[in-house]
């Protein structure tokens, strides 16, 4: 009998310490959300490299009593990297090493398209404030319109850390849906004649220009907007690795190994912010809705400014490249190419669209820096 009692007591202790005893309906719902996201990543291949670890992080975050964030360990270290803005600049280092600024340097006027597309950020900000979010939360939600995951995470951590999960999921989900969201807006706002505009070939860009640009841009932007110095500084450092021609090993590491490792940490850590307590609130649905508004408004802003530039340049700029101003490198540029090719077979817009596309990355970071300076 004594043995049986000891067995029962032990069993009760194991049960009391297990996750099942503290498991709530909310945890179950969030694990289901994680499974749906995993399905989208693996079966539908929507941004699988990001959505996969985010989804798994979401599942992990909803196991009760793991003590992930309370006790020192890997999970706490990952959370530290997110909460202290370590991972987004490292991702930017990799993006810089992967990005060719050549099309932007060959036609700097496309910077304006990258600026115009940022209107989506502020349309969403206005919408969020009208829906009752405070100004910091609205700024963090608005940045979804920049279609730039690391910048969205960077800004959310500083202005509305409790909304990080919803903002990151909205940003990455819509980035993967760019080929579905943008074309209808582009077609609605342009005429057949505008979509058929053929652009002149870009001039060759010298190595001198390619090396000077990241150095000078890092100096100017960091002096103007210190809050984003780490983001832009890492972007330009990565690009310098690439363009200098003497740091190939560093460029290779930044583009591949480092970027992949940091992506695992950043995405898993972002998923781990999606616990039921923070995520299962009505605000999440509003954020996802506002993110869609931000994407549509940003696309429209870029295309409308492209139409203006088309007229001003004497029909030398195809307005379709304006939509690429919403960052999402290089997907948004590919969308411009696909819509252009459908309107006029043989009209290759990809390289022309890469100019506003990389300008959008800088523009979103500048918008984030300005909001941090004004609103934090």
Partner 1 sequence: MSQPVTTNPLIIMLINMTVVFLVLIALGLVINLIHMIDPTRPKEKKQEEAAPAAVAAAEPAPAVEPAADEKGISPEIVAVIAAAIASYGYGVEQIRAIRPIERDGWKNSGRMRLSHRRS
Report the interface residues with partner 1, using CB under 8 A.
Answer: 104-105, 108-109, 111-112, 114-115, 118-119, 121-123, 125-126, 129-130, 135-136, 138-139, 204, 206-209, 212-213, 216-217, 220-221, 224-225, 359, 362-363, 366-367, 370-371, 374-376
Selection from 202, 225, 239 nearest residue 98 by Cα? 239
Q: Is 94 exposed, middle or buried (0-12, 13-18, 19+ CB in 10 A)?
A: buried
Tell me the closest approach of the beta carbon of residue 99 to partner 1, in angstroms.
15
Convert 257-273 into a string of H (helix), E (strand) and C (coil).
HHHHHHHHHHHHHHHCC
Choice between 203 and 342, CB closer to partner 1: 203
Tell me the closest approach of the beta carbon of residue 125 to partner 1, in angstroms.
6
Cα 101 → chain centroid: 19
Choice between 97 and 105, CB closer to partner 1: 105
| CA dist., res. 232 & res. 364, Å (int) | 11
Helix (H) or strand (E) holding 101: none
| CA dist., res. 141 & res. 163, Å (int) | 8
Helix (H, G, I), strand (E, B) or coil at 44: coil
Selection from 176, 155, 139, 165 nearest residue 294 by Cα? 139
Tell me the closest approach of the beta carbon of residue 363 to partner 1, in angstroms.
5
Tell me the closest approach of the beta carbon of residue 216 to partner 1, in angstroms.
5
Choice between 183 and 298, CB closer to partner 1: 298
Choice between 78 and 205, CB closer to partner 1: 205
Choice between 95 and 115, CB closer to partner 1: 115
Tell me the closest approach of the beta carbon of residue 208 to partner 1, in angstroms.
5
């Amino acid at each position: 009998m004594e043995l049986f009692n000891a067995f029962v007591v032990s069993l009760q202790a194991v049960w009391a310490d297990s996750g099942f005893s503290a498991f709530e309906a909310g945890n179950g719902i969030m694990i289901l959300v994680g499974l749906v996201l995993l399905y989208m990543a693996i079966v539908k291949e929507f941004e699988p490299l990001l959505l996969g670890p985010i989804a798994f992080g979401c599942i992990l975050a909803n196991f009760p009593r793991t003590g992930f964030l309370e006790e020192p360990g890997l999970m706490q270290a990952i959370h530290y990297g997110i909460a202290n803005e370590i991972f987004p600049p490292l991702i930017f280092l990799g993006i810089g090493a992967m990005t060719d600024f050549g099309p932007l340097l060959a036609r700097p006027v496309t910077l304006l398209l990258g600026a115009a597309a940022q209107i989506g950020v502020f349309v969403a900000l206005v919408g969020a404030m009208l829906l009752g979010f405070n100004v910091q939360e609205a700024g963090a939600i608005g940045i979804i319109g920049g279609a730039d995951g690391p910048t969205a995470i960077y800004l959310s951590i500083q202005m509305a850390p409790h909304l990080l999960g919803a903002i990151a999921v909205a940003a990455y989900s819509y980035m993967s849906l760019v080929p579905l969201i943008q074309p209808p807006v582009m077609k609605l706002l342009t005429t057949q004649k505008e979509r058929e505009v053929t652009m002149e070939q870009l001039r060759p860009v010298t190595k001198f220009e390619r090396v000077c640009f990241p150095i000078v841009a890092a100096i100017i932007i960091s002096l103007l907007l210190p809050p984003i110095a780490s983001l832009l500084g890492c972007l330009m450092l990565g690009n310098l690795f690439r363009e200098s021609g003497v740091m190939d090993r560093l460029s290779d590491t930044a583009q591949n190994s480092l970027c992949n490792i940091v992506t695992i940490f950043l995405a898993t850590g972002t998923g781990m912010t999606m616990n039921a307590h923070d995520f299962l609130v009505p605000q999440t649905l509003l954020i996802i809705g506002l993110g869609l508004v931000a994407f549509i408004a940003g696309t429209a802003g870029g295309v409308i400014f492209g139409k203006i530039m088309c007229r001003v340049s004497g029909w030398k700029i195809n307005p379709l490249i304006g939509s690429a101003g919403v960052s999402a490198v290089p997907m948004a540029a590919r969308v411009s190419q696909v819509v252009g090719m459908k309107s006029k077979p043989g009209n290759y817009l990809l390289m022309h669209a890469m100019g506003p596309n990389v300008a959008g990355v800088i523009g979103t970071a500048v918008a984030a820096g300005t909001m941090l300076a004004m609103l934090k």
